[in-house]
Structures are given as C-alpha cells and as structure tokens.
Amino acid sequence: MSVDIYEAMSTLRAVRRLRQEPLPEDVLGRILQAAAWAPSGGNVQPWRVVVVRDAEKRRRLGDLYRPQWVKYRVGAVEGAARLEGDARAKQQRMLEAADQLGERMGEAPVILVFCFNPSRMAITDIDLGRPTVVGGGSVYPAVQNVMLACRAEGVGCTLTTLLCYEERAVKSLLDIPEDWYTCGFIPIGYPQLGGHGPISRRPVEKLAYADTWGAPF
C-alpha cells in the first residue's frame, strides 16, 4: 500500500467512532514501526508505548476516561453554543462522536498509551517561568507518525491527553515504572462510518509570518 504523504496529512481527521473488530497484527506492526522512525532530541527516543489489547485493561481505561470526558465536555458545549450556523452544527456533530468515544473508549480494539521519561530529555525551556513544551518535541513526532500511519492503513484514531488526569491509576494498571509518565492515549480501530476525509484548519496565511510576527507570509 502506498499513500502519498500530503494526501495522508490533508485527510487525517479525528475518527472517534470505532469498530470493535481487532486490528491485523501486520497493520499494527506498521503503525508502531512508524512511531519508531520518528526523530527525537539526541536520537534518545525517550518514549515507550504500551499497546493495550487486553479487554479488561481497555475496559478500565474506558472507565477512567468517561468521567474526564464528562468534565471536559462542559467547556466544549459552551464553546459550541457560542458558534453559529455551519460551524455550530459541525461542532455538535463532533461532540456527538466525542460523547460516543467518552462512553465507549474501552471498546476500541487497541488503545496506545504513550509514555515518556523526562530524565532522558534535554528540556531547554524548563526554567523560563512559563509552561514548558520542549519535552514534547521528543514524543509527539512519534505520535504524529502513528496517526499518519493509521491514516495510511485506513485505521481511525484520535489523540487524547485527558487521561493524564488519571496518570496514577493508569500507571498502576499498566505497571508503568516510577520515572516514566503518560502523555498520550490513542484509541485506534477501523472506522464505523466514513473514517478519514476533509479537515478544517486555518489557512497558512493565518499561521505563518514573514520575518516578523504579524507580517503575512
């Protein structure tokens, strides 16, 4: 199977309604290989992924996720209410899909749990007196490779970080060592509906500046 890289990027939408059907071993293998190829600071690869297929562990992850989604959705509903017309209808469709995921994350055939070890990272922005993100530079490229590989394989996926609120329980469930932490949860599976397709993003002109902040590219 060959999928053009721009085709994959431009149709990588969050797919939240997943079939319970297991993923073939070779498909899952290619998705994980994509993660392994990602660059990281000093090529240290300070991340690991726990591939959760065990039904009981998935159920428990789903049980931990449900109340976190319920809490988070309050803000999302308020946000949708401030929109109008098409944007509002679209946001409401997203909410319905997210509600289904909130209810049933544990039914996804695979949940990928990304972990990282900060002691193996050079976090260059840690002392700047503002939230640090640089550690993520050695983890989320691998996460993005996973998502793009899912797209290439026709597998639905979406990244959530809400389960970080339950990190202690997740670490206990999966035997994650003291010095490793959670940073991304990706339920994956074949799509119930159309799966991948068009995405809504800001145009480049709103995101890229020429030489100086605010100067249109």
Q: How far is the CB of 67 from a second copy (least distance, A)?
A: 14
| Shorter beta-carbon distance to a second copy: residue 103 or 165 | 165
Q: Which residues pair with 191 in a beta bridge?
A: 18
Cβ–Cβ < 8 Å for 139, 54: no
List the one residue from 18, 101, 139, 188 that touches a second copy (CB under 8 A). Answer: 139
Distance (Å, rounded) from C-alpha 156 to C-alpha 147?
8
Distance (Å, rounded) from C-alpha 20 to C-alpha 53?
11
Residue span binding a second copy (CB under 8 A) among the ranges 52-60, 80-88, 101-109, 188-196: 52-60
List the one residue from 19, 41, 66, 169 that touches a second copy (CB under 8 A). Answer: 41
Q: How far is the CB of 22 from a second copy (least distance, A)?
A: 14
Distance (Å, rounded) from C-alpha 132 to C-alpha 138?
13
Backbone angles phi, psi at 10, to 5 degrees: -85, -5
Residue span binding a second copy (CB under 8 A) among the ranges 59-67, 80-88, 100-108, 134-142: 134-142
Q: Does 169 bind a second copy (CB under 8 A)?
A: no
Distance (Å, rounded) from C-alpha 188 to C-alpha 182?
17
* Window 93-122: contact mask with a second copy (x via CB under 8 A): ----------------------xx-x--xx
